[in-house]
Structure 1
């Protein structure tokens, strides 16, 4: 079934992406290298490329010790350099298929590893972050380094599929939530009725994080003060932290309609209405303040289609969380429910996990601005999102305990 799903995704990508790839040389992978993480908790596999990879499928576990990563419209360079495997990786394979590249990594027995793929902010490379969560050795530092390892990467991997055990399922438990307070620093976001978006989002983010921490969840913030953080950096923070959920908080604005009010929640996808497009463009416009706005040129509508195909499982979970958030806003907080929507927000693009963007309300509406400025209003919105995360976590982990094939 897994092989069939991959074939469907590859086939659709071939159909949808042929126009994009026409007349353009395929991206080539020139090297696979391994580097210990600075925090000594794992390794980073760097996939060196000649250009930006159009899209990639998120890492998928084939069994307890094998991981697969698919790079679309990518091929191996004739002089591809295979560095020896290191850290938790004992071997890896690189297989071209239908114009795409399939990388498979085999991990050492007895290790529990978490993996997340993300784009390198300073190059065109793809990074695969590997966090060792448990090991039979004293610490991760004792794993083989790239200099110590001299075993060439295997061309084939033959392993018998292993059944899921509680230890293997641990890597999927929803234990880390990344909270992104939109805007900050030199970017105030929307400003109306004496209220700045960056202040509201930070206040709600810190309150939400405190509620989640009280329930034993690990919380990562993209910012905890009034500072500017670039959009792709926010996704990188989430990926490197091993986040299981990404929640980006924002406030809406309708300069031409002071009566507009209510909350809405987005997940990544093609916008279907002009209103969604306007919200997306306003939130994405922050790139003009960043050091290199050109890094977003690869974020095209065609690539968004490919990404929604490759990350369909994440998007389904994102939609479910968005629905739970909106239900809490409407039924518990008394906010007007403007619904669940899709749009191509850059801040969601780089987060390799279920991710949503919440528009808490309209600052251009005087009454709603006053509500969002108040401590009581911020508490209510944070509590509503917290309850939605609780409900989502329960559903998510119930599926882990009772997978669809066993129900």
Structure 2
């Protein structure tokens, strides 16, 4: 019974959102991991929490903007990749940014990474979006460039989409930026400057 209620609830949510923002510019921010999936963890700090905090700061900056930002999750919940793609498609967004955070055994490795999928039907638009994000973020942070990857969400949403690895939690300098209010606001503002 619970299984059927969950499916019904998700279906109703998708149906509602598919009609709620008709005609309005929509940007989806997909937040990596969630629930039992912590993502990267360093010194008790979880990727899943940081991407949510940063995404909420981006959303707050756009409160009075002429476009709508929708998050794939607004709390610490688990979503399958398929559920994420289905939800994103139901919203028919202009583009999608998937937020993640990296880590490396070498604590000197730092900077942000951008990924686009050559299998995405909107690959050229995705590359253009990635270039805009890189230009904005690289004014404040180190860029490791734009790379190709066929991550599930990137290749299946059929919208301009980019995966943005915001930095390396394993690097002390990046960790400060990713965890501090100051750093999170700088990241949020750099991304907002691409959206506005």
Q: TM-score range by the shorter chain?
A: 0.7 to 0.9
Partner of 2:107: 258
**Given the superposition, is the C-alpha separation of residues 347 and 242 from structure 1 closer, same or farther in structure 2, using an over 3 Å criterion?**
same
Query: How far has the Cα of 1:354 moved from its partner?
Result: 0.4
User: Aligned pair 1:185/2:35, yes or no?
Assistant: yes
Partner of 1:318: 126
Q: C-alpha offsets along residues 55-111 of structure 1, whole Å, 9 cap, x if unaligned?
A: xxxxxxxxxxxxxxxxxxxxxxxxxxxxxxxxxxxxxxxxxxxxxxxxxxxxxxxxx
Query: How far has the Cα of 1:263 moved from its partner?
Result: 0.7
Aligned 8 A contact 1:253 1:364 in 2: yes
> How far apart in 1 are the matches of 2:62 and 2:162?
17
Aligned 8 A contact 2:29 2:69 in 1: yes
**Given the superposition, is the C-alpha separation of residues 191 and 132 from structure 1 closer, same or farther in structure 2, using an over 3 Å criterion?**
closer
Aligned residue for 1:213, secondary structure, equals coil
* 1:151-162 superposed matches below 5 A: none
Aligned 8 A contact 2:15 2:90 in 1: no
The two structures have a TM-score, normalised by structure 1, of 0.42
* 1:142-157 superposed matches below 5 A: none
**Given the superposition, is the C-alpha separation of residues 238 and 41 from structure 1 closer, same or farther in structure 2, using an over 3 Å criterion?**
closer
Q: Which runs of 4+ in 1 moved over 3 A?
A: 37-42
**Given the superposition, is the C-alpha separation of residues 38 and 177 from structure 1 closer, same or farther in structure 2, using an over 3 Å criterion?**
closer
Aligned 8 A contact 1:263 1:338 in 2: yes
The two structures have a TM-score, normalised by structure 2, of 0.85
> How far apart in 2 are the matches of 1:261 and 1:40?
37
* Count of aligned residue pairs for this structure pair: 183
Aligned residue for 1:214, secondary structure, equals coil
Return the structure number with greater strand share.
1
Which of 212, 217, 220 is the matching residue for 2:70?
220
Partner of 2:9: none
Query: How far has the Cα of 1:243 moved from its partner?
Result: 1.1
Which of 41, 50, 60 is the matching residue for 1:210?
60
Q: C-alpha offsets along residues 188-245 of structure 1, whole Å, 9 cap, x if unaligned?
A: 0001133211111001111112223321211221100011111121111111012111
Aligned 8 A contact 1:179 1:209 in 2: no
> How far apart in 2 are the matches of 1:40 and 1:369?
35
Aligned 8 A contact 2:55 2:188 in 1: yes
Which of 360, 364, 370 is the matching residue for 2:166?
360
Q: Note the aligned Cα RMSD (angstroms).
A: 2.2
> How far apart in 1 are the matches of 2:108 and 2:180?
19
**Given the superposition, is the C-alpha separation of residues 388 and 132 from structure 1 closer, same or farther in structure 2, using an over 3 Å criterion?**
closer
Aligned 8 A contact 2:25 2:68 in 1: yes
By relative contact order (CA 8 Å, sep 6+), the higher-ranking structure is 2
* 1:63-78 superposed matches below 5 A: none
Q: C-alpha offsets along residues 267-322 of structure 1, whole Å, 9 cap, x if unaligned?
A: 113xxxxxxxxxxxxxxxxxxxxxxxxxxxxxxxxxxxxx45xx1xx111111111
> How far apart in 1 are the matches of 2:18 and 2:165?
35
Q: What residue ranges of structure 1 are gaps of 5+ in the alignment?
A: 1-36, 43-130, 134-170, 270-306, 391-407
Between 260-269 and 210-219, the greater mean CA deviation after superposition: 210-219
Aligned 8 A contact 1:232 1:350 in 2: no
Q: C-alpha offsets along residues 384-407 of structure 1, whole Å, 9 cap, x if unaligned?
A: 1111123xxxxxxxxxxxxxxxxx
